[in-house]
Amino acid sequence: MSQLTDTHPDPAIGDDVVMLTVPADGGYLGVLRTATAGLAARLHFALDEIEDLRIAVDEACAMLLAIATRGAELDCRFAVTEDALTVEVTVTTVRGAKLPAESSFAWKVLTALTSSAAAEATGQRATIRLVTRRTGA
Query: Of the ranges 3-12, 23-32, 98-107, which is most confident?
Result: 23-32
3-state secondary structure of 110: helix
At 34, is the pLDDT very low, low, confident or very high (cuts 50, 70, 90)?
A: very high
2 pLDDT more than 70:
no
Structural domains for the chain:
16-133 (3.30.565.10)
| pLDDT value for 15 | 62
6 pLDDT more than 50:
no
**How distant, in Å, are the alpha carbons of 5, 25, 64, 73, 98 from that of 69?**
24, 11, 10, 9, 13
The pLDDT tens digits for 46-88 are: 999 999 999 999 999 999 999 999 999 999 999 998 889 999 9
16 pLDDT more than 80:
yes
pLDDT above 70 covers a percentage of the chain that reads: 88
**What's the farthest any 2 CA atoms get from each other in the chain?**
43
- Pick the range with the lowest mean pLDDT from 8-17, 63-72, 90-99, 112-121: 8-17
